[in-house]
Structure 1
Amino acid sequence: MSQTYQEAIENSNIVSKTDINGIITFVNDEFCKISGYTHNELIGENHNIVRHPDIPKSNFTLLWDTILNKKPYKATVKNLTKDGKTVYLNTTITPILDENDEIKEFIAIRYDVTEEVELKKRLEKKEIELEELNKDLENRVSLQTKKLQELNKTLEQRVNEEIEKNEEKQKLLFWQSRMASLGQMLANIAHQWRQPLTELNLTLFNMNKSFKNNNKEKTDELYLESKILIKTMSSTIEDFTNFFNPQKDKKSFEIKEAVQEALIILKKVLNDIEVEVNVANNFKVVGVLNELSQVIINLIQNSKDAYLFNNIEKKIITINLSEEKISNKLYAKLQIKDNAGGINKENLDKIFDPYFTTKYKSQGTGLGLFMSKMIIEKSLEGELSHKNFEDGSLFIILIPLNNLG
């Protein structure tokens, strides 16, 4: 080996030599730098000085069997530095033979892969955590499905009890006919909320991509995004399960928070849809925040489906919030408008009916707008209405303002 070639190897790699018994006879500056030992501390010592205690003896048996048979040994080796730090080195150990074809010494050339190994370990740990979160969510869905089935069994009794409490008999008869389908409706909602789990596939793909690009910040961001999505979905399922529970807690909340929560959940599916949001603070109402979020999600998803069905190129959804006074009572007026073509005139009077849908059966159950109207009217004591406006649909939600805040 020429001197120039030897210098090039020593300057770009971590190099050491040992005699046939494993005693160090040479180390370069890079070896000293990564191990923390000086030349004087290493020369004459057994190469075990940098051995990590976690490495099983079988690894070293394989190493010596290989190199004593005059074959090179290649592996990613875990070493321990002088100050107790763990490093990982891609290592190639080559026997050097004399003129009699006998082993004269061993030369080891290494390069540092500690950062890559640690990144891989962190990613594997996070993937395991995500898998555990997925399993937990599946268990929650299974548990809530059982509760829904029990709710369906006692649905008729619940309707009868509600009729006895309400003085407006005609209105109650109307709700009785709609509540008869509640069990199936809630089961469908539980099923539909499991579908957004597929969004995690995209997140994991991007996480893997950012890992390969050594983008730790992006990897952590995607990991947190997945956890937030899963927890939000789980919370929403529980809220729907408790929808007709008279003991559920209603609280004062900002409508802006419900809008923001809905847009976070829909972030991955909006794609090329431009969403213009004109929603201010200080519009507080009383109810369950996640229920209003679910209404907003359903209305935006309907717009998304309409864009696809009508082949609309420039897609714009506008969300506006204002105050309106009706009969000396103040209301929050939330308007969600799209430019997806609107609804056919012959269907305008049917869109809030249960099981009415213009989509294929595989794409919708016809329960989304029916459920949304129930939430607004029964839970938030407001109104939900629709009209075709300009080149699309305009949904208007009126909810009494909580002036006591």
Structure 2
Amino acid sequence: MKKNINKREHVHNQIKKHSTELLELLTLHLPDMLWIKEKNGKYIYANKAICDGLLMAESTDEVVGKDDVFFALREREKHKENPQWHTFGELCFNSDVTVIENNKPMRFEEYGNVKGKMLYLEVFKAPFYDRHGNIIGTVGAGRDITELKNTQKSLEENLQLLEQQRKELELFNEKLEEKVKYEVEKQQSQEKMMLHQSRQAAMGEMLESIAHQWRQPLNIMGLAIANIETQLAVSDIDKDELSKKLEAIAYNISYLSDTIDDFRNFLNPAADDYEVFFTPNKSILEILRILEAQLKNCKIKIETSFTEEEFYFKGVENEFKQILFILINNSIDAIKKLIADKTINEGLITIALEDKENHGIVKVMDNGGGVDKEIQEKIFEPYFTTKHKSSGTGIGLYIAKNIIETRMHGNINFFPVEGGSCFSIELPIHKV
């Protein structure tokens, strides 16, 4: 019987020894650091990863019976010239004590210099018990997370840099908004001044148009009144003839009144304050009525071509009229010069109205000789003019382009035609 008991104990010890060897074999070469310590921090077991990566131990056997502080002090002694060569040791023992005091598994991030370089470990430690449930030490596993921490640190630095750049960008945007606001207000002020200058120039040209427009009806009324006075002085005037003369005077007075209304509507500042839907046909005819006498006096014929169905533009109607006035007056000036030079005998201005793909197109064409090829690209620039300084400001076409493109969201273009020029205005059609 005793022989059988001894045999069982021998077998048990063999199995225990085999299990210990198997555990060491399984854990010895794992990349993660594994260890078992006594309560005083001295190693019972350590695998190769912790010996090589943290303790700088010569072998796993050397570790047994020694603690982290021992190896830390040994490394520092070897490299006295560099106090930061090895700073691990005390921290490891402190976390062991924390686990024992709390009597539960815990996670730590331990870090310090190893071989002069920062090492970060993610560490899991737990109490180590004997068969009676008493804490006799700790077991632990550690994983090198240095690369991950460096990546996180780099990411945090980049995020901080990004945040700094965001704040700088916000500050830049604030300054940019202020600058843009200042520049916009400055440009609006300049454009307002240019528009005022253009209006002043237009008023001067209007006076000439008024003079032409009124000369004939005033002459008719003057002759009629003189004829009536003559007949009254010589003899009694015939009632029918007097009635005809008075009708002629009344018609011309009405004509002058209508002309005043046309000019007043065109030059009315209040009409410039709001946008409306308007038909370009009506605007064109009103401008032609204003310039009718001047065109006749300059021997300029007008031809119009409108679409069968009217359509609507949206904008300040008086501004659109001013553009037409600028374009037609430019044509008049060019034609007058050719007639004075006897290059042509009669002028022709054609105004065509077309619609194409939800856009209305207004074309103003003339036989005024055109624009030299070298300066065609400059004609819309502010203060550029081919006229003499006394008769041109050079802002008319610039104002026209600005109104069409900025305010009415359209396009204005120039292209030469045989014997003259053509300006084309393209604007979106609105349904009313």
- TM-score normalised by the chain length of structure 2: 0.48
Q: 1:182 to 1:285 in 2, by over 3 A?
A: closer
Displacement after TM superposition at 1:378 (Å)? 3.0
Distance 1:216 1:206 in 2: 11
What do the CA deviations read for 1:157-205 (whole angstroms, capped 9, x no partner)? xxxxxx9699899999877765564454444444443443323344322
Q: 1:233 to 1:384 in 2, by over 3 A?
A: same
- SS of residue matched to 2:283: helix
Q: What percentage of aligned pairs have identical amino acids? A: 28
Distance 2:366 2:247 in 1: 36
Distance 1:297 1:369 in 2: 11
- 1:238: which partner in 2? 268
Distance 2:374 2:262 in 1: 37
**Whose helix proportion is higher, 1 or 2?**
2
Q: 1:220 to 1:175 in 2, by over 3 A?
A: same
Q: 1:286 to 1:207 in 2, by over 3 A?
A: same
1:316 partner amino acid: L
* Contact 1:166 1:172 (8 Å CA) reproduced: no
Pick aligned residue for 1:393 from 415, 421, 424: 421
Pick aligned residue for 2:311 from 267, 283, 290: 283
* Contact 1:277 1:319 (8 Å CA) reproduced: yes
- SS of residue matched to 1:352: coil
- SS of residue matched to 2:368: coil
* Contact 2:300 2:349 (8 Å CA) reproduced: yes
Is the counterpart of residue 368 in structure 1 residue 381 in structure 2? no
Displacement after TM superposition at 1:332 (Å)? 0.1
- SS of residue matched to 1:266: helix
Q: 1:242 to 1:164 in 2, by over 3 A?
A: farther
Pick aligned residue for 1:319 from 351, 373, 384: 351
Distance 2:275 2:384 in 1: 30
Q: 1:321 to 1:178 in 2, by over 3 A?
A: same
- SS of residue matched to 1:398: strand
* Contact 1:193 1:237 (8 Å CA) reproduced: no
- SS of residue matched to 1:249: coil
- 1:120: which partner in 2? none
Unaligned runs of 5+ in 2: 1-175, 228-241
- 1:341: which partner in 2? 369
- 1:351: which partner in 2? 379
1:273 partner amino acid: I
- 2:5: which partner in 1? none
- 1:208: which partner in 2? 222
Is the counterpart of residue 197 in structure 1 residue 213 in structure 2? no
- 1:294: which partner in 2? 322
Q: 1:273 to 1:170 in 2, by over 3 A?
A: same
- 1:17: which partner in 2? none
- SS of residue matched to 1:349: helix
* Contact 2:271 2:316 (8 Å CA) reproduced: no
1:290 partner amino acid: N
Displacement after TM superposition at 1:258 (Å)? 0.6
- 2:67: which partner in 1? none
Q: 1:375 to 1:216 in 2, by over 3 A?
A: farther
Is the counterpart of residue 259 in structure 1 residue 287 in structure 2? no
Displacement after TM superposition at 1:388 (Å)? 0.6
- SS of residue matched to 1:336: strand
- 1:331: which partner in 2? 359
2:362 partner amino acid: L
Distance 1:290 1:385 in 2: 20
2:408 partner amino acid: L
Distance 2:396 2:423 in 1: 14
- TM-score normalised by the chain length of structure 1: 0.51
2:350 partner amino acid: T
Distance 1:389 1:172 in 2: 39
Correspondence 1:1-400 to 2 at 5 A:
181-199=194-212, 200-212=214-226, 215-239=245-269, 243=272, 248-271=273-296, 272-280=299-307, 281-311=309-339, 312-325=344-357, 330-400=358-428
Distance 2:387 2:291 in 1: 20
Distance 1:255 1:166 in 2: 38
